Amino acid sequence: MPDSKNDAHVEKTDAEWKSELTPEQFRITRKAGTEAPFTHQYNENKRNGTYACVCCGQSLFPSRTKYNSGTGWPSFYAPENKESVTEHEDNSLFSTRTEICCSKCAAHLGHVFPDGPDPTGLRYCINGEALSFEAEGQDGNDDNDTA
């Protein structure tokens, strides 16, 4: 995973991103794609830890804010901090939604909706392919741990 300790904005060419990401990660994060619902392992992940951007490693969502929205995508009621994500108006698919991107590398993560639980009332509906997961108490990236 890229170094998340460097606070500088990350900019790379499509060729560079393609060499570092899987085709599905590239399609979703760099081309604003969406994975099919109920297909990613993080939708069911209940471990304690931190979800980070698969492109740059920036911490995005703590597991304590994850909940089962029933939508088929990993959902959170709040990001790690307000500075870790940016919001953009998205007028695709014949509606207006709020797109969520990583503030460090501009990776498309998903969308935020005003139908989430307390305490924020928000639902950050995030593509699992845009995330990596580090379980609490582990030194390395734990992409395959879904216990």
Residues catalogued as catalytic: 125
Q: How far, in Å, CA of 117 to CA of 114, rounded?
A: 9
Q: How far is CA 90 from CA 64, 97, 100, 122, in A?
A: 28, 5, 9, 17
- Two structure tokens written together for 36: 């099919």
- Cβ proximity of 36 and 29 under 8 Å: no
Closest CA to 116 of 107, 127, 105, 125: 125
Q: Which residues pair with 133 in a beta bridge?
A: 51
